[in-house]
Protein backbone atom coordinates (compact mmCIF):
# COMPACT_ATOMS: atom_id res chain seq x y z
CA UNK A 1 0.00 0.00 0.00
CA UNK A 2 1.20 3.47 -0.80
CA UNK A 3 1.54 6.00 1.97
CA UNK A 4 -0.38 9.22 1.62
CA UNK A 5 2.84 11.13 2.26
CA UNK A 6 4.33 9.63 -0.85
CA UNK A 7 1.31 10.48 -2.95
CA UNK A 8 1.67 14.10 -1.98
CA UNK A 9 5.22 14.42 -3.25
CA UNK A 10 5.00 12.43 -6.46
CA UNK A 11 3.40 13.61 -9.65
CA UNK A 12 2.95 12.54 -13.23
CA UNK A 13 6.30 12.35 -15.04
CA UNK A 14 4.61 13.33 -18.27
CA UNK A 15 2.66 16.40 -17.31
CA UNK A 16 3.33 16.97 -13.58
CA UNK A 17 -0.34 16.34 -12.91
CA UNK A 18 -1.79 14.98 -9.70
CA UNK A 19 -1.80 11.20 -9.33
CA UNK A 20 -4.89 9.42 -8.04
CA UNK A 21 -4.48 6.09 -6.29
CA UNK A 22 -6.67 3.18 -7.29
CA UNK A 23 -6.29 0.87 -4.31
CA UNK A 24 -8.29 -1.96 -5.84
CA UNK A 25 -6.09 -2.23 -8.90
CA UNK A 26 -2.90 -0.93 -7.30
CA UNK A 27 -2.40 1.68 -9.95
CA UNK A 28 -1.93 5.42 -10.07
CA UNK A 29 -3.84 7.43 -12.63
CA UNK A 30 -2.88 10.93 -13.63
CA UNK A 31 -5.82 13.25 -13.08
CA UNK A 32 -4.63 15.43 -15.90
CA UNK A 33 -3.50 13.22 -18.80
CA UNK A 34 -5.08 9.93 -17.58
CA UNK A 35 -1.87 7.96 -17.90
CA UNK A 36 -1.94 4.87 -15.68
CA UNK A 37 1.13 3.82 -13.70
CA UNK A 38 1.71 0.50 -12.00
CA UNK A 39 2.48 0.14 -8.31
CA UNK A 40 4.94 -2.59 -7.41
CA UNK A 41 5.03 -3.60 -3.73
CA UNK A 42 3.96 -0.13 -2.69
CA UNK A 43 6.45 1.57 -4.97
CA UNK A 44 4.96 3.59 -7.83
CA UNK A 45 6.58 2.87 -11.17
CA UNK A 46 6.60 6.35 -12.60
CA UNK A 47 7.99 5.85 -16.05
CA UNK A 48 6.83 8.17 -18.78
CA UNK A 49 4.86 6.29 -21.38
CA UNK A 50 5.75 8.72 -24.10
CA UNK A 51 9.07 8.68 -25.86
CA UNK A 52 10.21 12.25 -26.09
ZN1 LIG B 1 -0.11 13.33 -16.53
The string of pLDDT tens digits covering residues 7-49 is: 889 999 999 999 999 989 899 999 999 999 999 888 899 987 6
- Domain of residue 21: give its range: 4-44
pLDDT at position 49, please?
Answer: 67
| Greatest extent of the chain over all pairs of C-alpha atoms, in Å | 31
pLDDT at position 41, please?
Answer: 87
- Determine how many CB atoms are found less than 10 A away from the CB of residue 37: 20
Q: How sure is the predictor about 3, in pLDDT bands with cuts at 50, 70 and 90? A: confident
Tell me the CA–centroid distance for residue 5 and ligand 1, in Å.
19
Q: Is residue 52 part of a domain?
A: no
pLDDT at position 36, please?
Answer: 94
Residue 52 has pLDDT above 60, yes or no: no
The number of distinct structural domains making up the chain is: 1
What lies within 8 Å, CB to CB, of 28 at 6+ separation is 2, 7, 10, 19, 20, 21, 22, 36, 37, 39, 44, 46
Q: Is residue 32 part of a domain?
A: yes
Contact in structure between 14 and 50 (CB atoms under 8 Å): yes
Tell me the CA–centroid distance for residue 30 and ligand 1, in Å.
5
Tell me the CA–centroid distance for residue 46 and ligand 1, in Å.
10
Tell me the CA–centroid distance for residue 33 and ligand 1, in Å.
4
Amino acid sequence: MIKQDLLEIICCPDCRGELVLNEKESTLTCASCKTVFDVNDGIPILLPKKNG
